[in-house]
Structure 1
Amino acid sequence: MAKDVEVGGEFQAKDYHDPPPAPLVDAQELTQWSFYRAIIAEFIATLLFLYITVLTVIGYKSQVDPDKGGQDCDGVGILGIAWAFGGMIFILVYCTAGISGGHINPAVTFGLFLARKVSLVRAILYM
């Protein structure tokens, strides 16, 4: 998409340029260290996201379970789980955006593949 800028009643050129579509298969990408670094960053970010958020849910469940002696006021609660998910996404995207784009979610990678912003090889290995 292009955005025209109106200056003095006249339309000027776009204020940005869309990057060219990513090739479907980019074999040259497999020879670059930055490609593998991005894959490792996505793997570690996804691993940390799932580990921390699932542990938060497990901790909440064990704290409110009446069979284990938990009380309703103990633990993080539903709001704490929401903060854990949101906080982890915020931190991990911030940390990995410069390396891999900070996808973390396979749905984001699939959407970018459909928009031809990432190649098929990168999309498969990110998922």
Structure 2
Amino acid sequence: MHRREFLTTAANPDARHDYLVELHGEPAPGTLLTLRYVPDRSIATPDGVAAYLGALSDTAVAAGPEALAIAVLDDLNNELIPRWVEVTVERARPVPLRVVVEDRQPGWDNPHLFSRMRRV
């Protein structure tokens, strides 16, 4: 089973509104992953995200935080198709490191929502 298949979704309860979803997990000891997204038609199920984090291969994690963040971003864009998504990967060792990647659907913007977001 490919890791993307673990990302289960449910229907967005009200796609007329923009709102922020934030999920945190640890795909490997010492690696913190934060997913923040604005849903479109679907939302990620917490159980699916937990299973997905468990399915991330040691190879994906070992490739480095940059490669991991981009792989997760690609998977979310393929399975969830959010209006906006941000993936943050953090490690404390050997030196503190934080990688942030983001993407959005063409033409989508909500400056009022972004202005109220707290930065992780």
**Structure 1 length as normaliser, TM-score?**
0.30
Higher helix share: 1
The structure whose residues are more often strand, as a share, is 2
Larger Rg: 1
Select the structure with the greater relative contact order (CA < 8 A; seq sep ≥ 6): 1
